Chains A and B, each alone.
Chain A
Amino acid sequence: MKLLSRKGAICNTHGQDTPYFLGWQEYEKNPYDEVRNPNGIIQMGLAENQLSFDRLESWLAANPDAAGFKKNGVSIFRDLALFQDYHGLPSFKKAMTDFMSDIRGNKVEFDPKNLVLMAGATSANEALIFSLGAGEGDALLLPTPYYPGFDRDLKWRTKAEIVPIICSSSNGFQITKSALEKAYKTAGKKNLKVKGILVTNPSNPLGTTISKEELNLLVDFIDKKQIDLISDEIYSATVFNSPEFTSIMEILEERKLRDTQLWNRVHIVYSLSKDLGLPGFRVGAIYSNNPTVVGTATKMSSFGLVSSQTQHLLGEMLSDKIFTQNYLSENQKRLKKRQEQLVSGLKNAGIHCLKGNAGLFTWVDMSHLLKNKTFEAEMDLWKKIVYQVGLNISPGSSCHCSEPGWFRVCFANMSEATLDLAMVRLKDFVDSLLTSSTSTSTSTSAERRVYKTKSGSRWKLFKWICGLMFDKREQDEWIDNYCF
């Protein structure tokens, strides 16, 4: 048959062939299940927040109107069904901006008029790049390590390039002035015009908030180079320890940069996928003080609007300030506890991590377990961890980390029991590595031990109850989806 477009088919910057995605595939072939598949692979490569669903569920149960297309007891189904205005549902936008303010301790105020809704941060990031006019021949500077999905989201259809701002473990992977300068020069050497910098704050995969010093550095830099700054603050409500979260907007306010040219060059991307644990609902947003960017992005949002059904539900939920206050504080507590469980489990296995205070994952240093300090050795170790230990974690190379041996390990998408099991498996593996005289890569087909969980009988009871609630069709569909 004939050729498909260069952009669509032949180009593989969709990134689907990286370990990040391959690890997912392995997991999907053999997913861990406490009862059905206790030797399966435990998913620790998925940055999902599953810790606070009960809060959402109880709110839903107490407020059936929100999911039932009703407002103040009256059906607004028709209005919602017809509502496709790319300006977004006003009540929802107000609730979103209020929520964003709350997360920032009300140190910043957001104007709903400057918020553009899009179907997820994936969509928002891409649209923002398009709106800033970044395309072929342009570069975005991103500090490493960064979220692997950016390779697809920012480059695939826009044709822009990413040039890394290389950060090192020597200072906790913080962004430095010289790293910024170096990246800028590198872009120039490649004949690329730098359009802007994109940072994720709190950082994925580091699990840390960006410091005020770094933020100020960034502001100085974009001022000097006359470029834009995108701050992806998708994890802003997952900060569970000091230092506190500082949004880029706070820095601008502190430096009295409101209404200056710089004010127009800083943009925030947000989403409810991580903070609220609702990735399926596709709720993302661009926030900008630049009316041109807002105008362009608004029109562009036609290609990825948020379902009005979802806007209404979440508008009602986020307008309930009592609920949101409680949710935010409880969610933080649970994340903190879970992270501590992971960190101490790792420590128990002799593994250290970067001191994290945010996010749904920990940035783990396993360089001491490498055969040698190369990315090939990192890949070897990663494969062992996926196939032999049965943990899908994300290798640092897939996040463009410049130093081999770092891994991102998620903790908020599984039960405590599963996390315990994962730590047991890991400790056993590390012990075996350190006690074996030869390299384990020469050992014959690995024996996967059978692990029993402590809560086996509790799980069985839970399943029995579930069986009364789910019908078989839903159960089968669940299996279908994971094995598709």
Chain B
Amino acid sequence: MGILLELHDTDDQEVQSPSVELSKIAVSSAHGEDSPYFSGWKAYDENPYHEIHNPSGVIQMGLAENQVSFDLVEEYLEKHSEKALFGKKTNSGFRDNALFQDYHGLLSFRKAMASFMEQIRGGRAKFEPTRIVLTAGATAANELLTFILANPGDALLIPTPYYPGFDRDLRWRTGVNIVPIHCESSNNFAITPEALEAAYETARGLNLRVAGVLITNPSNPLGATIQRKVLNEILNFVVEKNIHLISDEIYSGSVFSSSEFVSMAEILEDRKYKNNEKERVHIVYSLSKDLGLPGFRVGTIYSYNDKVVTTARRMSSFTLISSQTQHLLACMLSDEKFVEKYIRINRERLKRRYEMIVNGLREAGIECLKGNAGLFCWMNLGPFLEDPTMESELEIWKLIVNEVKLNISPGSSCHCSEPGWFRVCFANMSENTLEVALKRIRDFVDKMEWKRGGRKPISGNGAGDCKPN
């Protein structure tokens, strides 16, 4: 009883057509790797830009990495390598560390993480080390929470546009569904109570039990923080429906101005940590974006629900953080001087990069959503589309990848309900490369205008006027 199937594989090696039945999980496309998000990467991989060796290559602007503050981390390592890296003298720490596989995680590291998270929030919220569960990256944290909070077949409500990786992280092995909370450019993609309710009804209409709401704050791909008023409304909503709330705050340290970020932790604090409110709130964090260390696999779940903490901790056995890495980061993040300096300078640099790209795009006649956080801007090419359709969006995207040679992420891969929006990353390259990218865009827009007979782009879909946040 063989079922011959061809698998779409991103590897180079040829996939044999198997003659035995494949598991559902193997053939499921819920790993999400067939979307443009990933095929843009391919174009880059095949022809990557290099300032000297390949100046006409594809510039990677689809990767939300923070490369602007490495020097600060390197400086720290230079000064403290003996302690942080099991130098020659403190070699005896190596043994205990190598044996340490306790799923509670190194206490010193949890304390350092709690303190780091507090400092990012300007001390406006407190985090207890005993509630921190460590996982190998936010990818693992989000999946783990989904396993715990939702049953197969249940639904998580997620505001659009959202990070394409969620399609895989939250659905693939868990069997949970995502139902979008549609957000629109008319109010800068803010989440509204009506949209929340509509998503809930949609899920119920599909006979799906709603397990919770997942928000990313600051938002990916919008590059903007969620307002206090909206956060309160979301909390009211989940309380009313008696469901969970996951707040992925992975970009919280990348807000350009500290005072503009309001964490779900602060909302709970404001509302005096009412039992029936805090029990349903879970915060996800990671060092991949704020510290620029995605390779080290450091994620956390912070939950106010004891049962969730206990279960998540046990489940984290499947995804523990290397004790070697925990030790290094415990040293680094408990260094208050370093942390203060890093958070401050990182913010300044990201802000500067953001302004550079937004102004550069504006010079080319392209507007972006007003952002205040993150490693990317949300760019509006709506006025340049042939038609206000997803097909036109993909057409222009292909042009940008193949002719302008910039890998950016089309809004459709982020499930945006309006065509024409693109996420453009700015923190994973040098300023020179960013200048090159901006020049290419300017040239591209000029060419497009020439094609249209010199007409300026019409702000057709109402999104051209971006109101301040």
A contacts, CB < 8 Å to B: 1-2, 4-9, 14, 16, 48, 50, 53, 56-57, 60-61, 64, 67-69, 75, 77-78, 80-84, 87, 113, 119-120, 122-123, 126, 130-135, 152-153, 156-157, 226, 261, 264, 273, 277-282, 290-293, 295-296, 298-300, 302-310, 313, 466, 469-470, 473-474, 477-478, 480-481, 484
The answer on a CB contact under 8 Å between A481 and B106 is: yes
Partner of B90, one of A78, A133, A293, A469: A469
B contacts, CB < 8 Å to A: 7, 9, 11, 13-16, 18-26, 31, 33, 65, 67, 70, 73-74, 77, 81, 85-102, 104, 106-108, 136-137, 139-140, 143, 147-152, 154, 168-169, 172-173, 211, 242-244, 275-276, 279-280, 288, 292-297, 305, 307-308, 311, 314-315, 317-325, 328
Q: 15 interchain pairs (CB within 8 A)?
A: A1-B275, A56-B94, A57-B95, A60-B94, A67-B87, A77-B74, A81-B292, A81-B296, A131-B26, A133-B26, A157-B315, A302-B137, A304-B318, A473-B108, A481-B100
**CB contact under 8 A between A2 and B173, given known A68-B81, A82-B295:** no
**CB contact under 8 A between A131 and B23, given known A122-B318, A279-B99:** yes
Partner of B242, one of A2, A69, A473: A2
The answer on a CB contact under 8 Å between A281 and B324 is: yes
Could you tell me the distance between the alpha carbons of A283 and B15 in the complex, rounded to whole angstroms?
27
The answer on a CB contact under 8 Å between B328 and A309 is: yes
The answer on a CB contact under 8 Å between A4 and B149 is: yes
Could you tell me the distance between the alpha carbons of A292 and B14 in the complex, rounded to whole angstroms?
10
**CB contact under 8 A between A261 and B20, given known A300-B173, A303-B139:** yes
CB-CB under 8 A from B18, the residues of chain A are 264, 290, 292
CB-CB under 8 A from B314, the residues of chain A are 14, 16, 152
The answer on a CB contact under 8 Å between A477 and B85 is: no
CB-CB under 8 A from A308, the residues of chain B are 295-297
Could you tell me the distance between the alpha carbons of A292 and B19 in the complex, rounded to whole angstroms?
11
Could you tell me the distance between the alpha carbons of A302 and B9 in the complex, rounded to whole angstroms?
16
Main DSSP-derived SS at the A contact region: helix
The answer on a CB contact under 8 Å between A477 and B108 is: yes
CB-CB under 8 A from B150, the residues of chain A are 5
Q: Which residue of A lies closest to B105 (CB)?
A: A481
CB-CB under 8 A from A226, the residues of chain B are 20
Could you tell me the distance between the alpha carbons of A42 and B137 in the complex, rounded to whole angstroms?
35
Could you tell me the distance between the alpha carbons of A149 and B79 in the complex, rounded to whole angstroms?
42
The answer on a CB contact under 8 Å between A68 and B137 is: no
**CB contact under 8 A between A133 and B148, given known A56-B94, A82-B294, A299-B33:** no
The answer on a CB contact under 8 Å between B148 and A5 is: yes
Partner of B98, one of A153, A280, A303, A469: A280
Partner of B107, one of A156, A292, A481: A481
**CB contact under 8 A between A82 and B65, given known A306-B297, A309-B296, A469-B90:** yes
CB-CB under 8 A from B91, the residues of chain A are 57, 60-61
The answer on a CB contact under 8 Å between B23 and A64 is: no
In the assembled complex, how far is the CB of residue B132 from the closest CB belonging to chain A, in whole angstroms? 13
Could you tell me the distance between the alpha carbons of A281 and B97 in the complex, rounded to whole angstroms?
8
The answer on a CB contact under 8 Å between A5 and B147 is: yes
The answer on a CB contact under 8 Å between A282 and B136 is: yes
In the assembled complex, how far is the CB of residue A376 from the closest CB belonging to chain B, in whole angstroms? 28
Partner of A157, one of B81, B108, B173, B243: B173
The answer on a CB contact under 8 Å between B77 and A77 is: yes
**CB contact under 8 A between A480 and B296, given known A75-B74, A282-B101, A304-B136:** no
CB-CB under 8 A from A261, the residues of chain B are 19-20
The answer on a CB contact under 8 Å between A68 and B85 is: yes
Could you tell me the distance between the alpha carbons of A82 and B88 in the complex, rounded to whole angstroms?
26
Could you tell me the distance between the alpha carbons of A122 and B20 in the complex, rounded to whole angstroms?
27
CB-CB under 8 A from B11, the residues of chain A are 87, 295, 298
Most chain B CB within 10 A, of A61, A280, A298, A308, is at A280
Could you tell me the distance between the alpha carbons of A406 and B40 in the complex, rounded to whole angstroms?
58
Most chain A CB within 10 A, of B18, B107, B148, B320, is at B320
CB-CB under 8 A from A303, the residues of chain B are 136, 139-140, 143, 169, 173, 318-319
The answer on a CB contact under 8 Å between B86 and A67 is: yes
Q: Which residue of B lies closest to A158 (CB)?
A: B173
Could you tell me the distance between the alpha carbons of A134 and B328 in the complex, rounded to whole angstroms?
38
4 interchain residue pairs of minimum CB distance: A133-B23, A280-B323, A308-B295, A8-B148
The answer on a CB contact under 8 Å between B295 and A122 is: no
The answer on a CB contact under 8 Å between A123 and B319 is: yes
The answer on a CB contact under 8 Å between B20 and A295 is: no
In the assembled complex, how far is the CB of residue B429 from the closest CB belonging to chain A, in whole angstroms? 12
Could you tell me the distance between the alpha carbons of A419 and B275 in the complex, rounded to whole angstroms?
50
The answer on a CB contact under 8 Å between A481 and B151 is: no
The answer on a CB contact under 8 Å between A57 and B315 is: no
CB-CB under 8 A from A82, the residues of chain B are 65, 67, 292, 294-295
The answer on a CB contact under 8 Å between A84 and B294 is: yes
In the assembled complex, how far is the CB of residue B306 from the closest CB belonging to chain A, in whole angstroms? 10
Partner of B294, one of A81, A113, A292: A81
Q: Which residue of B lies closest to A306 (CB)?
A: B322
CB-CB under 8 A from A290, the residues of chain B are 18
CB-CB under 8 A from B148, the residues of chain A are 4-5, 7-9
**CB contact under 8 A between A7 and B98, given known A295-B9, A303-B319:** no
In the assembled complex, how far is the CB of residue B32 from the closest CB belonging to chain A, in whole angstroms? 9
Partner of B307, one of A9, A80, A132, A469: A9
The answer on a CB contact under 8 Å between B136 and A119 is: yes
CB-CB under 8 A from B136, the residues of chain A are 119, 282, 303-305, 307
The answer on a CB contact under 8 Å between B7 and A292 is: yes
Could you tell me the distance between the alpha carbons of A81 and B452 in the complex, rounded to whole angstroms?
45
Q: Which residue of B lies closest to A413 (CB)?
A: B99
The answer on a CB contact under 8 Å between A481 and B102 is: yes
Most chain B CB within 10 A, of A2, A64, A466, is at A2
CB-CB under 8 A from B95, the residues of chain A are 50, 53, 57
Could you tell me the distance between the alpha carbons of A466 and B89 in the complex, rounded to whole angstroms?
12
**CB contact under 8 A between A133 and B24, given known A7-B151, A295-B7:** yes
CB-CB under 8 A from A78, the residues of chain B are 67, 70, 74
The answer on a CB contact under 8 Å between B325 and A57 is: no
Partner of A307, one of B19, B87, B308, B322: B322
The answer on a CB contact under 8 Å between B151 and A280 is: no
Could you tell me the distance between the alpha carbons of A300 and B26 in the complex, rounded to whole angstroms?
10
Q: Which residue of A lies closest to B328 (CB)?
A: A309
Q: Which residue of B lies closest to A311 (CB)?
A: B295
CB-CB under 8 A from B81, the residues of chain A are 68
In the assembled complex, how far is the CB of residue B74 from the closest CB belonging to chain A, in whole angstroms? 6
Q: Which residue of A lies closest to B23 (CB)?
A: A133
